[in-house]
Structure 1
Amino acid sequence: MAATADKAKRALRAEIRARRRSLSSTKAALAGEGLRRNLQTLVTARGAQSVSCYLSTPTEPSTRPFVTWALAHGIRVLFPISRDDGLLDWTAGEQGGEATGLWGISEPAGERLGPRAINDVDLILVPASAVDTQGTRLGWGRGYFDKTLGSLEKRPPVYAVVFDNEVLPDVPKEAHDQPVNGVVTPSRILDFSCD
């Protein structure tokens, strides 16, 4: 059963990667602006003063306009930094610029605060390749966010960030996959559970 789910996950990730690579720069920019508006609405509605958010890659829905807005409005932003032990370190703000991280992904180059720093945020924003309407998140296969979310004692609301066509009726799920409370796309915010 696990081998079947893993195979289905790999196929779906490949399909989504191909779709994302074919997205025009104009559509990507419009999606980034829609995403900023919806993330801004979510953070404001929840009264979040501290959030964790990742720096998007060129093929992901752009979180960068939102990060700029959040920092300009005094919201503390923690960014993940990949470690080779499968855990995430965190850094605050973007004062240190960016560096290429463990997997060739751009990460903030600030002071490392350790894996426990995320325990103090009001809202967690995570990357995903797809999310289904039951709150199952399909990540990119390394398990960093599943480990992080599974280790939190008091978990704040977690929202995945995807393009509109990546909210699906169902995605493959395995026992270690951590659910999300909602999803934010360029055109909408969906809540899956009360917290």
Structure 2
Amino acid sequence: MDMSEDLVTAKQALRAEIRDRRRVMPQHERDEATAKLTEHLKNLVAARGVKRLSCYLATPSEPETRPFLSWAYDNGIEVLLPVSRDDGLLDWAIANDSPDENVGLYGIPEPTGELIGPIAINDVDLIIVPASAVDKKGVRMGWGRGYFDKTLGSMGKRPPVYALVFDSEYVDSLPQEVHDQPVTGVVTPSALITF
């Protein structure tokens, strides 16, 4: 096995462990994490004077984003939500106050709004991305499909990028491949960290 195969295998094992841990997380812990994450995200948006951002609709096992999205909508902050495409790129839709959602590729929740194309993300002040884990150097490990790495890697001028994870998923170090895009910071229930 060469080094890149070792990296891929290590990442797959780590993702499986994180999925298992997330699956058995008690609901009261999840609710508490959601409340704390929402506060940190509101503080981040306020501190940076953000008017337009991109975020995502969390899957049932991910740190929940919907209370934050509702707050952003209520406060006049425009939010772009990703829609996965077959070609590995992300389209975007502007979040609205509708509770309706579509089921996208891979069973991921997606917005129902009108699609505005991949380059719309170039006009946001802040990007919030999902992650399975983030390390202390800003290395983000996603779920292996590469959508956000491609998107971030293609941006000429990138705004701050923060990943959302549970506390146990902010780790000392992660395996890193060439295409992995670093993040500016991480938001966990107990902390908002900028690297």
TM-score (norm 1): 0.97
Matched with 2:8 is 6
Taking the aligned partners of 2:46 and 2:190, their CA distance within structure 1 comes to: 17
Structure 1 residue 94: deviation in Å? 2.7
Matched with 1:22 is 24
Partner amino acid, structure 1, of 2:50: A
Kept after mapping to 2: 8 A contact 1:78/1:92: yes
Kept after mapping to 1: 8 A contact 2:73/2:97: no
Partner amino acid, structure 2, of 1:186: P
Taking the aligned partners of 1:18 and 1:187, their CA distance within structure 2 comes to: 21
Alignment of 1:1-195 (within 5 A): 1-95=3-97, 97-192=100-195
Taking the aligned partners of 1:14 and 1:49, their CA distance within structure 2 comes to: 36
Kept after mapping to 2: 8 A contact 1:95/1:110: no
Taking the aligned partners of 2:18 and 2:94, their CA distance within structure 1 comes to: 30
Taking the aligned partners of 2:41 and 2:175, their CA distance within structure 1 comes to: 26
Taking the aligned partners of 1:92 and 1:159, their CA distance within structure 2 comes to: 19
Structure 1 window deviating more from structure 2 (95-104 vs 26-35): it is 95-104
| Structure 1 segments (4+ residues) deviating >4 Å | none
Taking the aligned partners of 1:21 and 1:150, their CA distance within structure 2 comes to: 30
Taking the aligned partners of 2:103 and 2:122, their CA distance within structure 1 comes to: 25
Q: How big is each residue's C-alpha offset from its partner over 1:85-133, in whole Å with a ceiling of 9 and x where there is no partner?
A: 0000000013562111011111001100000000000000000000000
Partner amino acid, structure 1, of 2:13: A
Alignment RMSD (CA, Å): 0.8
Kept after mapping to 1: 8 A contact 2:70/2:97: no
Partner amino acid, structure 2, of 1:174: E
TM-score (norm 2): 0.97
Taking the aligned partners of 1:81 and 1:30, their CA distance within structure 2 comes to: 28
Kept after mapping to 2: 8 A contact 1:159/1:181: yes
Kept after mapping to 2: 8 A contact 1:35/1:186: yes
Taking the aligned partners of 1:45 and 1:166, their CA distance within structure 2 comes to: 25
Kept after mapping to 1: 8 A contact 2:164/2:186: yes
Taking the aligned partners of 1:121 and 1:186, their CA distance within structure 2 comes to: 24
Taking the aligned partners of 1:47 and 1:78, their CA distance within structure 2 comes to: 17
Taking the aligned partners of 2:105 and 2:134, their CA distance within structure 1 comes to: 25
